[in-house]
Chain A
Amino acid sequence: MSMNLFRLFSRPRSAPAARERLQVLLAHERAAAGGDADLLGKLRDEILRAISKHMQIDDDKVSVRMERGPQVSTLAVDIEIPFDAGKKAA
């Protein structure tokens, strides 16, 4: 029991983390639901479309990562562009 009590008091509270995670998540989800489609998702789709105009994208060579933050979100699109990519599209 004393062991349990020690564990209980020695750990940081988890509720603030829950609150912060929910705030960030819901802010992004509400924006997406209000017709103002998820900006990050929109950028992702448009970037991929723009690139596919100039070369054939091999889906397996594309990696997209996103991280939605409270102030700043990040979008990382990694695409392997083969040397002769331009010729293929032409």
Chain B
Amino acid sequence: MGKVIVVTSGKGGVGKTTSSAALGAALAQGGDKVVVVDFDVGLRNLDLVMGAERRVVYDLVNVIQGEAKLTQALIRDKRVETLYLLPASQTRDKDNLTAEGVAAVIGALKANFDWVICDSPAGIERGATLAMRHADIAIVVTNPEVSSVRDSDRIIGLLDSKTLKAENGERMEKHLLLTRYDPLRAERGDMLKVDDVLEILSIPLLGIIPESMDVLRASNIGSPVTLADQGSAPAIAYFDAIRRLKGEQLPVTVPGEKRGFFGKFFGRKAA
């Protein structure tokens, strides 16, 4: 039985889709069988970020409504053969997602994949609650910025109350993925500190993804950043994140904090 992960945040534009694609690809690059499911019905984008937008035949809504078989809707990645995408519908709305339909799809995917990654839409409505409903693990994507931290706190509350795990009295495993972290702004003291965010949200840190041109480039060319440039800083951060996800004890390095003697000296002075 595979593990179901929801990638969620409440707030839009923080990096849920980018992170879903990168984490999914990173896991598949390690040989695991992975499917990334787009729950953003009506505004799909995972297909575009993964470079499969021209190959969408059927989607999640088609499967739920019985118009297509799950196997027909799955799109296999052209670069990593154990990576699959289940796209959302672009033309229908989220009311087409039924609780029973989603349960059936997730159940079938769990039986056939090592990891089922649910890319949640922004917000706290139907699409978002259904995306998190069957999760074993939640990855809360947060930017070091006040509104994102507030929305993440709200989402953590929903994860602890509206999911199947919560309703069964079990504990939902939650991880914080801090994205768009800008070392320069951190240095200037204009960004929430990692420790502050961790203290406020009090869930364990899965990784810190630096704000980077490499992420923009990767989405421009339609490739998860772990595939587009494996040696780039964000790719390395995502690879490290999946090692932690798999239970490895790997210390998190804060981008930009590995300074030499002079850097440290002047950095302290500036702060």
The distance in angstroms between the C-alpha atoms of A67 and B54, with both chains bound, is 5
Tell me whether A62 and B217 are in contact in the complex, defined as CB-CB below 8 angstroms, given that A44-B57, A68-B54 are known contacts.
Answer: no
Task: Give residues of chain A (37-90) contacting chain B, Cβ–Cβ below 8 Å.
Answer: 44, 59-60, 62-69
Q: Which residues of A contact B258 (CB under 8 A)?
A: none
Closest Cβ of chain A: how far from B189's Cβ, in Å? Answer: 23
The distance in angstroms between the C-alpha atoms of A1 and B62, with both chains bound, is 49
Q: Which residues of A contact B57 (CB under 8 A)?
A: 44, 64-66
Q: Which residues of A contact B90 (CB under 8 A)?
A: 29
Closest Cβ of chain A: how far from B230's Cβ, in Å? Answer: 12
Instruction: Establish whether residues B72 and A63, one from each chain, have CB atoms under 8 Å apart when the complex forms.
Output: yes
Task: Give residues of chain A (1-21) contacting chain B, Cβ–Cβ below 8 Å.
Answer: 8, 11, 14-15, 17-18, 21
Name B's interface SS: helix
The distance in angstroms between the C-alpha atoms of A17 and B57, with both chains bound, is 23
The distance in angstroms between the C-alpha atoms of A46 and B220, with both chains bound, is 35
Q: Which residues of A contact B91 (CB under 8 A)?
A: 32-33
Cβ of B56 < 8 Å from any Cβ of A? yes
- For B40-63 the 0/1 string (1 means CB < 8 A from A) is 000000001001011111100000
Instruction: Establish whether residues B54 and A69, one from each chain, have CB atoms under 8 Å apart when the complex forms.
Output: yes
The distance in angstroms between the C-alpha atoms of A57 and B58, with both chains bound, is 17
Tell me whether A60 and B55 are in contact in the complex, defined as CB-CB below 8 angstroms, given that A14-B217, A15-B220, A17-B220 are known contacts.
Answer: no
Q: Which residues of B contact A68 (CB under 8 A)?
A: 53-55
Tell me whether A64 and B72 are in contact in the complex, defined as CB-CB below 8 angstroms, given that A14-B216, A24-B54, A25-B48 are known contacts.
Answer: yes
The distance in angstroms between the C-alpha atoms of A15 and B221, with both chains bound, is 8
Between A and B, how many residue pairs show CB distances below 8 Å? 48
Task: Give residues of chain B (203-236) contacting chain A, Cβ–Cβ below 8 Å.
Answer: 213, 216-217, 219-222
Q: Which residues of B contact A18 (CB under 8 A)?
A: 219-221
Cβ of B69 < 8 Å from any Cβ of A? yes
Q: Which residues of B contact A63 (CB under 8 A)?
A: 72
Tell me whether A66 and B56 are in contact in the complex, defined as CB-CB below 8 angstroms, given that A14-B216, A18-B220 are known contacts.
Answer: yes
Instruction: Establish whether residues B53 and A25, one from each chain, have CB atoms under 8 Å apart when the complex forms.
Output: yes
Instruction: Establish whether residues A21 and B71, one from each chain, have CB atoms under 8 Å apart when the complex forms.
Output: no
Instruction: Establish whether residues B216 and A59, one from each chain, have CB atoms under 8 Å apart when the complex forms.
Output: no
The distance in angstroms between the C-alpha atoms of A59 and B90, with both chains bound, is 23
Tell me whether A17 and B72 are in contact in the complex, defined as CB-CB below 8 angstroms, given that A25-B53, A67-B55 are known contacts.
Answer: no
Q: Which residue of B lies closest to A44 (CB)?
A: B57
Q: Which residues of B contact A14 (CB under 8 A)?
A: 216-217, 220-221
Q: Which of B48, B58, B68, B216 meets A21, CB within 8 Å?
A: B48
A-B CB proximity, top 7 nearest: A14-B220, A18-B220, A14-B217, A68-B54, A59-B69, A17-B221, A64-B57
A-B contact pairs, 16 of them (CB 8 A): A8-B213, A11-B217, A14-B217, A14-B220, A15-B220, A18-B221, A21-B53, A59-B68, A60-B69, A63-B72, A64-B57, A64-B58, A66-B55, A66-B57, A68-B53, A69-B54
B residues bordering A, Cβ < 8 Å?
Answer: 48, 51, 53-58, 68-69, 71-72, 90-91, 213, 216-217, 219-222
5 new A-B contacts, CB < 8 A, other than A21-B51, A66-B57, are A21-B53, A24-B54, A63-B72, A65-B57, A67-B54
